[in-house]
Structure 1
Amino acid sequence: MCKHILNAQVSIRSPCCKQWFDCAQCHAESKKHELAQSMEMVFACKKCKKCFRKDMNEFDDSDEYCPHCDNHFVLEAKEPKARLEVEGEDIRKDARMIKDERVKGKEQVSVWEDEGQAVRLG
Structure 2
Amino acid sequence: MCRHILNARVSICFPNGRWYECPECYLEVEGNLANLKDWGPIRSFICLACRQVFKKDLRLFDATDKECPHCSTTIVCPSVTHEGILAEDAQKFLEAELSADVAVAPPFQTNQIRPRIRPGDSY
Q: TM-score, normalised by structure 2?
A: 0.62
Q: Percent identity?
A: 35
Counterpart-to-counterpart distance in 2, 1:36 and 1:13: 13
State the Cα distance separating 1:30 from its structure 2 match: 1.0
**Higher percent of residues as helix:** 2
State the Cα distance separating 1:52 from its structure 2 match: 0.2
Gaps of 5+ in 1: 85-122
Checking the alignment, whether the CA contact within 8 Å between 1:14 and 1:36 is kept in structure 2 is no
Structure 1: which amino acid aligns with 2:28?
E
Runs of 4+ in 1 over 3 A off after TM superposition: 81-84
Structure 2: which amino acid aligns with 1:79?
T
Structure 1: which amino acid aligns with 2:31?
K
Matched residues, number: 83
Q: Which residue of 2 aligns with 1:8?
A: 8
Counterpart-to-counterpart distance in 2, 1:33 and 1:80: 22
1:67 aligns with 2:72: no
State the Cα distance separating 1:63 from its structure 2 match: 0.4
Q: TM-score, normalised by structure 1?
A: 0.63
Structure 2: which amino acid aligns with 1:20?
W
Equivalent in 34, 41, 44 of residue 43 of structure 2: 41
Checking the alignment, whether the CA contact within 8 Å between 1:11 and 1:45 is kept in structure 2 is yes
Q: Can you list the C-alpha shifts for 1:47-98, whole angstroms capped at 9, x where unaligned? A: 11000000111111110100000010011000013579xxxxxxxxxxxxxx
State the Cα distance separating 1:36 from its structure 2 match: 2.9
